[in-house]
Amino acid sequence: MNRRDFLKAVGAATGGAVVAGCEPKKGTYKAISPLFPLPEGRIPGEPYYIRTTCTECPAACGVSVRMIDGVPLKLEGTPGHPVNDGSLCIRGQAAITRLYNPRRIRKPMRRKSTGAWEEIDWDQAYGAIIEAVNRARQEGRKNLYLSGRTAGSLGRLIDEFCRKAGFERLPEYEVFDYAALRQANRLVFGIGEVPFYDIAGCDFLLTIGADVLQTFGSPVSQQRQIARARRENGLTWVHAEPHVSLEGLQAQKRLVVRPGSEPHLLSFLLAAYGKSIPGAPPSGAAAVSRATGLDEGSLLELAEQLRKASRPLVIAGGVSLAGENGLATAVLCAQLQAAGGMTARLDFGRSLDMGRVGTLKDLQALANRLERGEAGVLFVTRTDPAGTAPDTMRFAERMEKASFRVALADAISATSEKCDLVLPLSHSLESAGDAVPHRGLRGLVQPVAEKLLHDTKTEGDILLDLLDEMTAEREFRSYAAYLKEQWRAEFGPGYEPQFSATGYLVRTAARQASPAPKPVPAQALKTTAMPEGPVLALVPSIRYYDGRSRSLKLLNEIPDPLTTITYGEWVSVAQQDAQDLKLQDGDELELAVGTWTRVLPAKIQKRLPPGVMMVDRGVAGACPTRVDPASGGEVAWLTGVRVRKTGGAVRLPVMSGSPSQHGRGIIPDPVHLKEGGNAHGDGHGKEHGEGHHNLSLYPEQEYRDYRWAMAIDLDACTACGACVAACYVENNVAMTGRDQHLRGREMSWIRIEPFYDREDGADFLPMLCQQCDAAPCEAVCPVFATYHNPEGLNAQIYNRCVGTRYCANNCPYKVRRFNWFDYRPRRDTQLRQPHGDLTDSIELPLDRVSNPLVSLRKRGVMEKCTFCVQRIREARDRAKDRGRKIKDGEMVPACAQTCPSEAIVFGNSLDPESRVSKIIQQGTHRVFEELGTRPAVHYVNGPIPDARLKNSDRGEA
């Protein structure tokens, strides 16, 4: 016991004595008042929702912020929103942790002569800028304004600022700039944009490299559409890819093509429509088969399916457009869309607004200008060119040639490192603004959180302030005022009520059908074969997008869907290559391209074609990517990679204990019973259990009103992990950090288990507490800390738990989690560091992301999923007030609420009319049923009836 503990003990003892000594007088209690006055008729402590828009990626989904007493608790999709209708992706769910991200900048910072940062206040910052601007003007240098993708009113304000303050606004810089796609659409359809893909309307979908579930276009919308199309039009989804991705493993059929051979595939398909494009690669089946590595049979079958389909759609994107042949692929895809009559399902009227987004070529131009020393004051906002541009561009060092560099950012990045001044930007939950999910749709961004910790401003306010300082005229009190002005001008005076109620405004643009295709210049079609030798693909990441989300702890805590690695970096290597290199998971590989080298631990990735390696784009950072001369976009395929085993090795936090089911039939599919039974018996587990599970010595438990149950559609589930993120935020699940993960101490209440048992592909199983009727965990608890509640929930009473861990041992599903330490300390206390580095599990102020309706768990107690019992309670109270029972779908757990493909159905299995009991009646599969645990979570392998699940859990019913 060290000094501090001793003092604590003494303090506690005396304090206790004092408290015990004095009893409170009547009427001395005070009600704690909310942060700011509540709207009329709002009861303190009751959750309510505020509409805003997610700003994590260009998709700009509608968000309802779940609030209690003016504190934002959780982000949920806005029901009925045209983009995401109630759902959010994994990054959207994690967005609230960005608000309390420990790496956020709290005050304006200036670079001292010593090179260290010093915190200054805003006026000093403005002073410095103005001074620099004037100096630059005298020196006759150009002031430049580089920003990330900007949509909506802010763009207009930036223009205004640049005009008045004499800045030149540069094309915006995004890593995922869709350069090839936009270029192709410009060439073929005359519209250089990313259209809205009407997947919901099609019955056959061929995606070529497009990561439609992860980052491409509007992922949540696309995921919802795919799920709907599967249910309603029996969609067939084929995914062709040169690597392995979630899409490939989720599609009904996965075609592995050689990197860069996509044009051949497309020209083959065009030929199937009797179209031959001059300059396109040969379309003969044999030739194409040779080029792509697909056997002719599957080629012909694909062509057949495509032609048979009444409403087909082909989408090319992602890594397939990020290669040397990206433009050719995109162009041919556009041609195919035209030839196959798919243009009806491309809506350019609702295209993704990439209006001012430039390409890497433009960034190159900027780099050259910087090199020439033309630049005076350089503004870089919401983007990190230094950290992502090709290393050959040497952007970071060239930046320093600008006389004064200002970064507007929320955290220090490679770019802001190189700046003289960093201005902290407010989080979108602290800002007023608007967003444009797609043309004709305006999303509302409104502040919901007080700036408790940070002295930050929105970009709009900063620009207005600067204008005010420079040109003494001030039109607008604040950016909010400016916005209101803009909106009134655009949508007419009566816009407010609808805007604030729904969080979006639609300006009905006439559906813009894509015009007839134009002939394409041949050079746009020239293809080059990818050179021999190993290639390294920089792939978009569902967790990190282009890397902007890497600093979010929650997204590191949740496993990568394919490898189940949580923290850290790795390079995925094909099994074949691993054998050749004699690699184990975690062995370090040195990857070298030209002068660039990078040492990364290897992870053997099943289903990855030999010769191809994968690294998250966000992890790769600034590396030898190249500017594609054809499209101006980024070539994210590193060729001629020299691979060397360093001999070193690190332990990767891989959450999965085994990639195979070992024939245990966890996921129902006859294939698995035959397969993977290496020395572990073959599927006897299932047969053995047949018929046994209903035998019981004891009578069934009687339930009165409710028996909560869940059905999960494994076909619809895409393993996107949104449910996991939602669960973390909703239930105050602790983030334990890398060190603990290496010790096998993750805390996730719901996880997604990948099993690579099929010949080609994988199966994913969301695993959460199964709320068994005959729960093995309950009977063994010596103190009744866990028991079966009258509504069938396997309740866990944290305060009663003494921590024997017997329940966790005895749980066949291993879904119980033990608090090995105080992972969530009381504010501003520090956790002891007994072993390794635990501090990363408690970075403050991350602990502010906490739901007051769910108790925080202390060290030494067991915790687990209880179907979001707090939400059930909430719904029951609401129902009680209205004198009725809880309606079906009125309440759903956080996981079901956010699921973009609505794979999770939750309800009362006592009510024969509820969707869940309808599904159960159809016959379902329950995991390890042969153990007689009688789980309440049912898995179905097929479409769920009466398609749409109404997530009306909004506290407003």
Partner 1 sequence: MQEYRFEDEHSYLHKLQELVDSGVPARRIHAFSPIPVPAAEQILREKPTFVRVFAIAGALLGMVAGFALCIYTVLRYPLIVGGKPVVSILPFVVIAFELTILLGSLATFAGFLLNARLPYIPRIFNPDEYGTHFTILVEEER
Partner 2 sequence: MTEQAVEQHHRLERDILAAMSRPTKWYWVALGVSVAAFLMGMALWLYMILTGMGVAGINNPVGWGVFIVDFVFWVGIAHSGTLISAVLFLFRARFRNRFNRAAEAMTIFAVMTAGLFPLIHLGRVWFAYWLFPYPNNHLIWPNFKSPLVWDVFAVSTYLTVSAVFWYVGLIPDLAIARRHAKNRIQMWAYRVFSLGWVGSVQQWKHYNKLYGLLACFATPLVVSVHSVVSWDFAMSVIPGWHTTIFAPYFVAGAILSGCAMVITLMVPMRKFFRLEEIITVKHFEGIAQMLLLTSLIVTYSYVVEYAIAFYSGNTYEISHFVYRLLGADEPGHYRYAYWVMVACNSALPLLLFFRRVRTSIPALFVLSLFVNVGMWLERFIIIVTSLARDFDPYAWGLYKPTIIEVGITIGSFGLFFTLFLLFCKALPVLAITEIKEEYT
In the complex, minimum distance from the CB of residue 750 to partner 2, in angstroms, rounded to a whole number: 12
Size of the site for partner 2 (CB under 8 A): 68
Q: Tokens 């992602």 map to which residue? A: 318
List 193, 324, 822, 911, residue binding partner 2 (CB under 8 A): 822
**656 near partner 2, rule: CB under 8 A:** yes
Query: What's the one-letter identity of residue 794?
Result: N
DSSP-derived pairing of the beta strands 626-627 and 634-635: antiparallel
Least CB distance to partner 1 at residue 710 (A): 18
- Which one of 502, 605, 661, 897 is in contact with partner 2 (CB under 8 A)? 661
> According to CB under 8 A, which one of 259, 624, 683, 766 is a site residue for partner 2?
683
Question: Per-residue contact track with partner 2, 65 to 104, x per CB under 8 A?
Answer: ----------------------------------------
Interacting partner of 775 out of partner 2, partner 1, none (Cβ under 5 to 8 A depending on kind): partner 1
Residue (807 or 927) nearer to partner 1, CB: 807
Amino acid of residue 616: D
Helix, strand and coil in the chain, % to nearest 5: 30, 20, 50
* The pair of three-digit structure tokens given for residue 548, joined into one six-digit string: 């902007």
Interacting stretch for partner 2, rule CB under 8 A, among 333-341, 683-691, 713-721, 868-876? 683-691
Left, alpha or beta for 70 (phi > 0: left; psi -120 to 50: alpha)?
A: left
Instruction: Identify the CA nearest to 560 among candidates 710, 739, 705, 764.
Output: 764
Distance, CA of 252 to CA of 364 (rounded, Å): 41
> How far apart are the C-alpha atoms of 583 and 384, rounded to whole Å?
34
- Please provide residue 911's backbone torsions phi and psi, each rounded to the nearest 5 degrees: -85, 110
Q: In sequence order, which ranges of 768-823 are alpha helices (DSSP H)?
A: 776-779, 806-809
Task: Report the nearest approach of partner 2 to the CB of residue 838 (Å).
Answer: 8
User: Any contact of residue 776 with partner 2 (CB under 8 A)?
Assistant: yes
Report if residue 586 touches partner 2, rule: CB under 8 A.
no
For residue 803, state whether it binds partner 2 (rule: CB under 8 A): yes
DSSP state of 478: S
Q: Which entry of partner 1, partner 2, none binds 703, CB below 5 to 8 A by partner kind?
A: none
- The window from 357-365, 519-527, 624-632, 744-752 that contacts partner 2 (CB under 8 A) reads 744-752
CA dist 306 and 265 (Å) reads: 13
Of the candidates 146, 206, 210, the one whose C-alpha atom is nearest the C-alpha of residue 172 is 146
Sign of CA dihedral 490, 495, 498, 501: positive
- Strand-pairing partners, residue 763, are 755
Q: Which of 170, 222, 674 is nearest to 380 (CA)?
A: 170
Which does residue 679 bind out of partner 2, partner 1, none, counting CB within 5 to 8 angstroms by kind?
partner 2
In the chain, the amino acid numbered 865 is C
Q: Which of 487, 821, 906, 939 binds partner 2 (CB under 8 A)?
A: 821
* Contact of residue 701 among partner 2, partner 1, none (CB under 5-8 Å per partner type): partner 1
How many whole angstroms separate alpha carbon 329 and alpha carbon 181?
9
If we measure between CA atoms, which residue out of 105, 110, 132, 135 comes closest to residue 121? 110
Smaller CB separation from partner 2, 720 or 752: 752
- Among residues 437, 438, 515, the alpha carbon closest in space to that of 186 is found at 515
CB under 5 to 8 A by kind: which of partner 2, partner 1, none does 699 bind? partner 1
Which of 625, 604, 628 is CA-nearest to residue 614? 604
When asked if residue 855 is in the footprint of partner 2 (CB under 8 A), the reply is no
For 538, list phi and psi in degrees, rounded to 5.
Answer: -95, 110
Return all residues near 313 (Cβ < 8 A) that are at least 6 apart. 197, 198, 199, 202, 204, 205, 206, 337, 342, 345
Scanning 32-40, 572-580, 911-919, 925-933 for contacts with partner 2 by CB under 8 A, the matching segment is 925-933
Look at residue 746 and give the partner it binds from partner 1, partner 2, none, a contact being a CB closer than 5 to 8 Å depending on partner kind.
partner 2
Return the range that interacts with partner 2 (CB under 8 A); candidates 161-169, 451-459, 662-670, 693-701.
662-670
Scanning residues 777 to 796, which ones bind partner 2 (CB under 8 A)?
A: 779-784
Q: Least CB distance from residue 676 to partner 2, whole Å?
A: 9
Cβ within 8 Å of residue 724, ≥6 positions away = 90, 558, 748, 750, 751, 752, 895
d(CA 918, CA 942): 14
Nearer to partner 1, 720 or 815 (CB): 815
Return the residue of 140, 744, 883, 923 that touches partner 2, per CB under 8 A: 744
Exactly one of 1, 20, 43, 510 binds partner 2 (CB under 8 A); which one? Answer: 1
Cβ at position 794, least distance to partner 2 in Å: 15
Size of the chain, expressed as the number of residues it contains: 957
761, amino acid identity: G
Among residues 476 and 703, whose Cβ is nearest to partner 1? 703
Task: Give the nearer residue to partner 2 in terms of CB position, either 104 or 857.
Answer: 857
Q: Is residue 603 a contact residue for partner 2 (CB under 8 A)?
A: no
In the complex, minimum distance from the CB of residue 699 to partner 1, in angstroms, rounded to a whole number: 7
Select from 494, 899, 581, 492 the least CA-distant residue to 710. Answer: 899
Candidate ranges 196-204, 385-393, 815-823, 876-884; the one touching partner 2 (CB under 8 A): 815-823
| 788 binding partner (options partner 2, partner 1, none; Cβ < 5 to 8 Å by kind) | partner 1
User: Interface with partner 2 includes 937 (CB under 8 A)?
Assistant: no
E-state strands within 683-782? 708-713, 751-755, 763-767
Say whether residue 740 binds partner 2 (CB under 8 A): yes
Beta strand pairing call for 404-409 and 421-424? parallel
Query: Do the bridges between strand 204-208 and strand 312-316 make them parallel or antiparallel, or are there none, so unpaired?
Result: parallel
* Shortest distance, position 918 Cβ to partner 2, whole Å: 28
Task: Measure CA of the first residue to CA of the last residue in the chain; give whole Å.
Answer: 54
CB 268 within 8 A of CB 296: no
- Which one, 80 or 836, has the nearer CB to partner 2? 836
Q: Which is nearer to partner 2, 307 or 832 (CB)?
A: 832
Contacts with partner 1 by CB under 8 A lie at 696, 698-701, 772-776, 778-781, 784, 786-788, 934
Pick one of partner 1, partner 2, none as the site partner of residue 803 (Cβ within 5 to 8 A by kind).
partner 2
What angle do helix axes 459-470 and 122-139 make, rounded to 10 degrees? 60
Which residues in the 5-44 window bind partner 2 by CB under 8 A? 5
What are the residues whose beta carbons fall under 8 Å from the beta carbon of 855, sequence distance 6 or more? 732, 798, 799
Residue 728 binding partner 2, by CB under 8 A: no
Q: Please choose which of partner 1, partner 2, none residue 309 contacts, taking the beta carbon within 5 to 8 angstroms, the exact cut-off set by kind.
A: none
**Binding partner of 873, given partner 2, partner 1, none, CB within 5-8 angstroms per partner class:** none
Q: Say how far apart CA 619 and CA 625 lie, in whole Å.
A: 13
| Alpha carbon 24 to its chain's center | 50
Residue (509 or 780) nearer to partner 1, CB: 780
> Whole-number minimum distance, CB 925 to partner 2, in Å?
15
The interface partner of residue 698, options being partner 1, partner 2, none and the CB cut-off 5 to 8 Å by kind, is partner 1
Whose Cβ is closer to partner 1: residue 702's or residue 881's?
Answer: 702
Which does residue 107 touch among partner 1, partner 2, none (CB within 5 to 8 A, set by kind)?
Answer: none
Any idea what DSSP says for residue 250? H
Structure-derived torsion over alpha carbons of residues 789, 793, 797, 798, reported in degrees to the nearest 10:
180
By CB under 8 A, name the binding residues for partner 2: 1, 5, 655-658, 660-664, 666, 679-685, 688, 740, 743-746, 751, 753, 755, 767, 776, 779-784, 800-806, 808-810, 812-814, 816-822, 832, 834-835, 838, 859-862, 927-928, 931, 933
